[in-house]
Structure 1
Amino acid sequence: MNPMINTQAVLAANNLGPVSAEIFLVIASCAILLIDMFQKEGKRTLTYALSLLTLVGCAVITYGDFTAGHTTYTFYNMFVSDPMANLLKLFTYLAVGVTLVYSRQYAGERGMMSGNMGGEFYVLALFTLLGQMIMISGNNMLPIYLGLELMSLSLYALVAMRRDHAISTEASMKYFILGSLASGFMLYGISMIYGATGSLDITTIAKLVSSNAANHTILVFGLVFVVAGMAFKLGAVPFHMWVPDVYQGAPTAVTLLLGAAPKLASFAMMIRILVEGLLPLAIDWQQMLLALAVLSLLVGNLTAIAQTNLKRMLAYSTIAQLGFVLLGMMAGVVGTRDATNAANIANAYSASMYYTITYVLTTLGTFGIIMMLARSGHEAEEVADFKGLAKRSPWYALVMTALMFSLAGVPPMMGFMAKWAVLDVVVGSGQLWLAIIAVAASLVGAFYYLRVVKVMWFDEVADASPISTPLDMRVVLSLNGILVVVLGILPGPLLAACLSAMSATLKS
């Protein structure tokens, strides 16, 4: 990765270069949809291979933009290609690609690849990715909202893919209804911000808010609705009620699509709207994020203790982990309307970005292990299903142990460094009491992570059936576990990349 990033912004109204990855993804997704119609019944091997090649192609294009280090605006300032967007997109491709590898056998055994349109799982996953890419690069409220809806609609359909499964159908209905409510909140907030400023362009909004040319009261009302909508999408307390039910009810492959890559896009959405657009209102939205972060840490960790279903436990774990992301977001600017002079901004937001990436990489491996242990007619969703895993497969028990330790924040795992980075900026912002609450909540959360480790290594085997896993899944899952350890021991390059990308984006 290029540590020296050129922050010079380039405005190009008709330049398609910055959106070449998105254009390539749209064309490839439509082609895969057509090719899949002629595939025979089975595991959709060609569709699977083409989907992974599409992700590789997107990664090559985006990596070229990232190494160039330019910030380029196009479509009349509605779309931006900058270092932060390109770095997040690279990890988004990785998350979706790994999810497809982990999901192939699982989805095939549950009939999600059957029928004339059996490849819709792959196509919807790619369209979900397209929505995330638009969210990440949106420089206008309109494309950010449209990207959010494209991602959400694809996920609604994916959650309900097992049409003959009552629990999945129920989860999809809950997700659709509450997701629609969140979209309404956000759209109403955007309309109020438009009413106060007369623009949907984030750069223009930032200038008007900085110059006090917009009605502050209307802006704050709009801000409340926008933050509430984002909190719904993130699953932060008290807008978390859909998360455990949808995580448990959705097919595990879809749960991973829902719980990993979208978090990167949601983080980018917060940066675009709150930091780049409404940073002068930080004294207002920082208080909202503070309440969301503390409630998420406490409710997520305390409720997870009572869960015996592993997917439901990980849902509450996600809520708690998002509390740390929000802590990093609100630590950048504290108690001042002159937000642009805060020296802690880049460090705080890059720490939050690093934490989000860490969470995504760890979540990928955790749900990968769950899908690896599942078999036709049986979901390995209960904590009891992991009893004696060390006797059945010592290596994958070791991988799962590393992942649980990372989520708990045990050194030298990647999760420990992520928590340390966030706590460092929180303490640096003068909010020691917040760091104490976060550490205390993490100690509570360590209980339910270590419970899984205890069950794997010290309990008697509950299911002695052989573990049958494709080679590609075994290789990627092993690399996933190793990566979590290596990036914990050597966090410097990724931390530096996050800081460099965030600094360049904030300056452009």
Structure 2
Amino acid sequence: MTQMLPTAADLLPLLPEVTLIAGAFALLMLDLFLDDRRRIVTHALALALLAAVLFMIYAGVGGQGEAFNGMFVRDVMANVTKLAIVLVGGLSLIYAWPYLRERKLYPGEVPVLVLLATAGMMMLVSAGNLVMVYLGLELLALCSYALVALNRDDGLSAEAAMKYIVLGSIASGLLLYGMSLVYGTTGSLDLGEIQQAVLDPGDKPMLLTGLVFMVAGVAFKLGAAPFHMWLPDVYHGAPTPVTLFISTGPKLAAFAMAYRLLDNALAPTVEYWQWLLAGLAAASLVIGNIVAIAQTNLKRMLAYSTVSHVGFLLLGLVGGGPQGYAAALFYAIAYALMSAASFGAIVVLSRQGFEADRIDDFKGLGSRNPWQAFLVLCVMASLAGVPPFLGFWAKLLVLGAALKAGFLWLAILGVVCAVIGAFYYLRVIKVMYFDEPVGQAQPPRPGRAVPVVFGVNALALLALGFAWNPLMSWCQQAFAG
């Protein structure tokens, strides 16, 4: 029977994505008529567009449902994850404006690339088909490559961009090859149909080979060990606001991609991918925490700590079930907020000619600027998992999920690595309050917007530590069906 073409009503669930993409192209055209002095207009309109999309998702504009014969799925999980993605996308733009303007690195394409990358993440979160998974992933990846290469005159940035492109292309190839093997086994690209076909696969070895390649692709996008080689160089070489962006939203999108592929499509093979994820989690926890101790550059330290945080996130996926997935989503949202605040601290303290990206740059901050030091303390304490900060509850929930699934050894390893990780976060606090200042004190950052946003971002980690239940309940609703 011939399928009917989708009507306007069928496309309503896509309304936030359509609005975001249409707005991005409109801003790209508008930027042609703006000079450097008026580029703030493009930036402000991009923030307004993200705020409008945030409201549309929160208010449920367009409703839940499917589009394009199930290729696009908008459900509670998608809405919760998209809200967090759009929020951190807006935060990255706020942090980016003064930093990039001071360094004359602000072409009009920056907000457009951020908007299109955000749209790619949103499509990835709502993927109900392997084609949509790859489409969203590549839209995100291509925009991220361009953002990392923003500072063309800096050799470090150019090197980071080249490594990101090469290794990202390899990861995309691994994922695509795995998808092709799964398609060859099941004869379908639809995730729901794949799940039914996997119950009785025609060629199980080929299916499991495809599963391994897909898990490898997902692990790269998350930054899990041993697929983390790109993280330190890209985080270090990219402009700090770009590092902030690629360390937050894409992790949420990668979690959603893992959930869609492994639970929605390959749930019958759980006994295989559960152990693959457990191995990746263990490697990430050990490698990330141990190597981070040796770092003197704060951005590289945060890069390796990202590897360890991905290990904790994977604990929730290993736990599986509604409770495990809810804990993993909670961890992904908490980490996105913590990562935005950690790189935001570098942006706030940086000036033209002074990047504030070394741990020694924070020496004596407690005496120079007590309020700023207290905010950085909140961020580092939350990343370390110190109660009652948000990071403590996030770690506790994923450890409980792994324990409930019978992975006692993995939960114990997580606790040990959390203690190890506390060392390098507390080292930052130590140099702020107990070391003598080095060099001349930097003047206060002109303008109040970025310091105020950073203050709200850092204090939210403390406030949500006392009021984490509503957020967790929201995450649980995402997987209640």
TM (normalized to structure 1)?
0.92
1:231 aligned to 209, 215, 219, which one?
A: 219
1:429 aligned to 382, 402, 405, which one?
A: 405
- Residue aligning to 2:91: 98
- Residue aligning to 2:452: 475
* CA contact 1:372–1:467 (8 Å) conserved in 2: no
1:74 aligned to 67, 70, 82, which one?
A: 67
How many residues matched? Answer: 475
- Residue aligning to 2:470: 493
Report the secondary structure of 1:503's partner residue.
Answer: coil
* Distance in 1, Cα, partners of 2:222 & 2:446: 32
* Distance in 2, Cα, partners of 1:369 & 1:392: 15
The one-letter code matched in structure 2 to 1:93 is: V
2:278 aligned to 290, 296, 302, which one?
A: 290
* Distance in 2, Cα, partners of 1:396 & 1:37: 39
Seen in structure 2, the aligned counterparts of structure 1 residues 454 and 72 have a Cα distance that, compared at 3 Å, is same
Moved more, 428-437 or 77-86: 428-437
Moved more, 453-462 or 128-137: 453-462
Seen in structure 2, the aligned counterparts of structure 1 residues 214 and 77 have a Cα distance that, compared at 3 Å, is farther
Determine whether 1:405 maps to 2:378.
no
The one-letter code matched in structure 2 to 1:493 is: P
- Residue aligning to 1:360: 336
The one-letter code matched in structure 2 to 1:497 is: W
Post-superposition CA distance 1:449-502 (Å, at most 9, x none): 000001111111224121214222122111111110011111110000000112
2:166 aligned to 177, 193, 198, which one?
A: 177
1:89 aligned to 82, 90, 102, which one?
A: 82
* Distance in 2, Cα, partners of 1:471 & 1:402: 20
* Distance in 2, Cα, partners of 1:99 & 1:89: 15
Report the secondary structure of 1:236's partner residue.
Answer: coil
2:104 aligned to 111, 119, 124, which one?
A: 111
1:329 aligned to 317, 329, 334, which one?
A: 317
* Distance in 2, Cα, partners of 1:43 & 1:458: 44
1:158 aligned to 147, 151, 157, which one?
A: 147
The one-letter code matched in structure 1 to 2:171 is: A
Q: How does 1:43-62 map to 2 (within 5 A)?
A: 44-62=39-57
- Residue aligning to 1:257: 245
4+ residue stretches of structure 1 with deviation over 2 A? 11-14
* Distance in 2, Cα, partners of 1:143 & 1:455: 47
The one-letter code matched in structure 1 to 2:172 is: S
* CA contact 1:12–1:73 (8 Å) conserved in 2: no
- Residue aligning to 1:451: 427
Structure 2: gaps of 5 or more residues: none
Q: How does 1:15-30 map to 2 (within 5 A)?
A: 15-30=10-25
Report the secondary structure of 2:480's partner residue.
Answer: helix
Post-superposition CA distance 1:259-293 (Å, at most 9, x none): 11111100000010001110111111111101100
* CA contact 2:91–2:340 (8 Å) conserved in 1: yes
* Distance in 2, Cα, partners of 1:492 & 1:287: 30
Determine whether 1:148 maps to 2:137.
yes
* Distance in 2, Cα, partners of 1:205 & 1:410: 42
- Residue aligning to 2:345: 369
- The offset of 1:74, in angstroms, is 1.0
* Distance in 2, Cα, partners of 1:388 & 1:177: 40
- The offset of 1:411, in angstroms, is 0.2
Give the RMSD, CA atoms, in angstroms.
1.4
TM (normalized to structure 2)?
0.97
* CA contact 1:141–1:202 (8 Å) conserved in 2: yes
Structure 1: gaps of 5 or more residues: 1-10, 333-344
Determine whether 1:386 maps to 2:362.
yes
* Distance in 1, Cα, partners of 2:369 & 2:341: 16
* CA contact 2:201–2:207 (8 Å) conserved in 1: no
* CA contact 1:12–1:72 (8 Å) conserved in 2: no
Report the secondary structure of 1:73's partner residue.
Answer: strand
- Residue aligning to 1:6: none
Determine whether 1:414 maps to 2:403.
no
1:442 aligned to 418, 440, 462, which one?
A: 418
The one-letter code matched in structure 2 to 1:302 is: I
- Residue aligning to 1:464: 441
Determine whether 1:206 maps to 2:195.
yes
